[in-house]
Structure formats: C-alpha cells, structure tokens
Amino acid sequence: MSSDDPLATYRSKRAFDRTPEPAGRPPDPPPPYPLPTQHARRFVVQKHDARRLHYDFRLESDGVLVSWAVPKGPAYDPKVKRLAVHVEDHPLDYEDFEGVIPDAQYGAGTVVVWDRGTYRNLTNGGGRPVAISDAVANGHVSVWLDGEKLRGGWALTRTSREPGGKEQWIMVKRADEHADPGRDVEAEQPDSVLTGRSNDEVGEDRGSRTWTRERATWAPPMLAELVTLHHHGDPAGWQYERKLDGLRCVAVRNDGDVELWSRNHLSYNARFPHLAAAVARLPADTFSIDGEIVAYDGTRTSFGLLQDPGARAAVVLCAFDLLELLGRKTTSLPLTDRQALLRQLIASAGPDIQVVEAIEGRPAELLERACAAGWEGIIAKRVDAAYHPGRSPEWRKLKCSASQELVIGGWTDPGGARLGFGALLVGYYDDGRLRYAGKVGTGFDEATLRSLHAQLIAREQPDSPFADAIAEKAAHWSRPELVAAVKFSEWTRDGRLRHPSFQGLRPDKAAGDVRREPPA
Ligand code: MN
C-alpha cells in the first residue's frame, strides 16, 4: 500500500471502466490551519447487498472516507457488540454512490445510501483530542453521529490485528440519551435515505418507489360552444383544428382491456373492433385518449358512411387529446402538453389511429378554406387550457353550414312509390318542452328508409310529443327517443329548418339534451 496515495488499495481492487463506483477526485490540499477536533465532518452508511449483506460505515477524514464493513449494521443497544471489519479507505465522492456493482467486479451487488449526516470526533487520549487517523492507528475511535437514522455516540475498538489480514473491530453504542435497546433500526428503516429505494429496487434500476397505477376511467368528454366567426374574432392563444363529422369517442385502456366509449358512455367495441385492436397495440398500457371515429371516402369524411356497415370507407380514430397516461391524470396540463404526450403515444400506431394536427392561419381564412373543402367547420381551442369534462368556453366550434341534432317525434306516410315514410317530424327541447322544427324529407336511401321506419313503428304512440300544434296530414307520432343529425341552410323567422337534409341517426346522443343551436 502506497503511503503517498491513500486510495491506492481502493483503486487497485476496481476496474473503473466496468463499475459505476467513483474513481475518486484528487485529494484536496491540506487546510492551511489544523481543523479543530470537534469540527463536524460527514459520515455515510451504505447498505451493500453483495455476497453477504453488510453495512459500510464511513467517516470523512483527511480527504478520504475511513471505512468499516459492519455485517449486521450499527445497534442502538449499548450491550450489543457489532463486528466491524476495517477495510480500505474510499474516495470522498463515494458518499452518495448508490447503484449496482456489476457481476464479477469487486463487491458485486447493490448499494444504497442507508444513512448519512455529520459526525464529531470525540476520541481522546489522556484528556486530549486525538485525530481520526491517529485514532484508527491506535485502535480506538469515538464519534457522535448526527444522521437521519443514527444519532448519538458510538465507539469502535480494534480486537484483532492479523498480519497482512483485515483488522477486526467491534462497534458499540454509547449509553447516552439516544440509546434504545428495543430499537432495530436496520429492520425499521431498511431503505435509502437518498431515494427511498430498497437494494432490490436499485437492482431493478427503478427510478423511485414503486407506485400503483390508477386505472384509466371514462369521463364525459369536453365539448365546444357554438359561436359565430364574428363572436370569436381573432384572439391570441388559440389553436385551430378541423371539425370532424364522426362519432366522438373516448378510448380507455387498462392493460389488455380496451373500451371505446361514446360521449354518452355506450361502447363502440362491437361496432369498430379494428379500432379497439389498434388501441390495444399502442405502446403504453394504461391511458385514456379523446378523439373522433371518422369514415374516410378518399380524402373526404362522411358521417353517412359511418352508419353503413357495408361501406368500403376507411374508419379511423382521429385522436386529439390525452386524458390519462400510465396511471396519471393529464387533464390539468395545458392543451399543448397533452397533445405533445399524445403524439408520442400515437407515433407508431399505424393507419387506424391518427393525430388531429393543428391548422395554422387566421380563423376567418381557416373557416373559409374548411368550408371550401367540404368540412363541417373548425374547432378553436385555448392552448393553455386544462381539459374540463362537459361544455366549456375554452373550446369553440365554428360551423360552415347549419347542422345539428334534432329529436324525431313523428313521421308522415310516403307518397307515390316511396317506401317506409315520407318525412321525419323533428324538434328540439326548450324549457322541457319539445318544440317543432319542421319536416326532413331528403337524405335517405332505401335501406335507411326501411330500417328507420321499423324503428319508428316500434316507438309509435297515439299522441303528438310536440308542444306545438302540427297541421300535418297522415302524421304518425313516436316516442321522442331517436336523434337525427340534420343539415340545413338556416332557421326561418318562424323557427323552422330551411332545406333540411337527413345525415344519419345519432345513437350516441341523448334526446333530452337536444337544444336549438344557437339559441333562438
Ligand atoms: Mn461493502
């Protein structure tokens, strides 16, 4: 052992290209004046799960950590003598080493910082203070520890000194106010004071304490308020997306369990199994994403095609928000952060799941382009807003043509060669009353006429559900349960739809929620 380099033995035992342990900084120059013996210096106890579990007790002294390996660790009972094997000095920067020493390396195993703090050297000889280095050479060390787990006085005394072998010492608690014969500090406080990890967790390289993932759950989605371009203006801090004419869907996954939920909490799994499978293939196993199920006919989307199980359209989940990820709610993050996480989750998804990208430009130009492209409109979202279930002023929809959901309250008989029915009688709720909005007589193909007629007959009732008197010949009435998506040019002055056209049924919307948009 070189007397020039106190760490020569430490370094000779280790291959620093293979172990993460520190090689040690060059020793600090000696202080220009002698430090008082009582000066507080650092101590550390590392719990080292090597060939045998032990506790490495280290005292800062003269630029190194003087070290003992204590198989059972320090005891709080003054009657208990714990074996402490004096080992080579360690570098000062070993004090916060926590990690895995690889197999086949010296001391292979896991290390956690089990305790640390400061100590005072209480060693004296003949009433005079003795420096730690002299105390170690003389075979007796007395210290006062101020750690997180170890507090009070301990004494270390050499019991055997084998030539060429390791020195055996014993470590004993002083009988002071901190002594506690009943306390088993190693069992009561087994983990790292730095990270809270156990040795096993360090071995599995887990970043922190294990936490249990909360299950991802469904909540009602965030909804936009309908506004006009004039009302919206061109405010700062908003982003714009295409308004999709599909079915709103919150996809919730817990491990292999996937649910595609509608906005009123009905499952779409049976209807779109390929989308459930695509969600199950995403790389994270616990999350909730918000989006819209859309049928693409080339580059156009079609709500009608979604209703038709035989259509050749590509049905895609267009995702635009992330509500939960890996057991954590993300709804309180700003929109931009939620969408950045969403893009990472969806990056490798393949064609069945797409991310809705923001579109750049002034809202007036964006709405004009959207309408020219045949879109329904655009959605405006505040970039700094959290996600709130339900209708929120922080999301707005700007529509190209008027369209909205309406409640079917009756139908008329068909004329001529037409099958099923002639027109739907539709309305909306206002103050608990179903107000009549007019007749919808176009937008049906033969299959729709037939299936919708059957659904109406199943709901037929003798009296009109509408609050308004309706002078309509050959009218039949139905329980107001079915909701239709209807496109039209405008509301007339007397509150009727102009040029209405049926777009499809909305089984995902509750009839009782249907209101006139915008309010009359
Ligand atoms: Mn050790």
Q: Strand, coil or helix: what is 452?
A: helix
E strands, 29-108, are 41-49, 53-61, 64-70, 82-91, 99-101
CA of 84 to the centre of ligand 1 (A): 11
- CA–CA dist 51, 401 (Å, integer): 76
CA dist list (Å): 465 to 165, 200, 469: 100, 68, 10
- Quote the pLDDT of residue 207: 45
CA of 140 to the centre of ligand 1 (A): 21
CA of 95 to the centre of ligand 1 (A): 12
Q: Are strands 497-498 and 128-129 parallel, antiparallel or unpaired?
A: unpaired
Sequence-distant (6+) residues with CB within 8 A of 345 are 282, 283, 284, 287, 289, 322, 325
- CA–CA dist 364, 359 (Å, integer): 12
- Quote the pLDDT of residue 1: 42
Report CA dihedral (491, 497, 499, 504) to the nearest 10 degrees: 120
CA of 79 to the centre of ligand 1 (A): 25
158 burial type by CB count under 10 A (0-12 exposed, 13-18 middle, 19+ buried): middle
Give the H/E segment covering residue 289: strand 286-297
CA of 195 to the centre of ligand 1 (A): 19
CA of 342 to the centre of ligand 1 (A): 45
CA of 56 to the centre of ligand 1 (A): 5
- Helix residue ranges, H only, 180-300: 185-188, 199-203, 229-232, 273-280
- Quote the pLDDT of residue 103: 87
Nearest of 223, 246, 241 to residue 363 by alpha carbon? 241
CA of 120 to the centre of ligand 1 (A): 23
237: amino acid identity, one letter:
G
- Quote the pLDDT of residue 228: 85
- CA–CA dist 85, 71 (Å, integer): 8
With beta carbons less than 8 A apart as the criterion, state whether 212 and 227 touch.
no
Just list the catalytic residues. Answer: 243
With beta carbons less than 8 A apart as the criterion, state whether 68 and 84 touch.
yes
335: which strand partners? none
**Which segments in the chain show pLDDT lower than 50?**
1-2, 35-37, 206-211
Give CA angle at 71 (70, 77), nearest 5°.
Answer: 70
- CA–CA dist 426, 385 (Å, integer): 36
CA of 455 to the centre of ligand 1 (A): 78
With beta carbons less than 8 A apart as the criterion, state whether 296 and 277 touch.
no
One DSSP character per residue, 190-228 reads: -S-TTT---HHHHHTT-SSS--PPPPP---PPEEEEE--
Q: Strand, coil or helix: what is 306?
A: helix
With beta carbons less than 8 A apart as the criterion, state whether 319 and 343 touch.
no
Domains of the chain: 8-203 (no CATH), 222-399 (3.30.470.30), 402-513 (2.40.50.140)
Q: Strand, coil or helix: what is 497?
A: strand
CA of 285 to the centre of ligand 1 (A): 39
Give CA angle at 224 (218, 225), nearest 5°.
Answer: 140
CA of 182 to the centre of ligand 1 (A): 26
- CA–CA dist 252, 141 (Å, integer): 62
- Quote the pLDDT of residue 165: 76
Q: What's this model's pTM, rounded to 2 decimal places?
A: 0.51
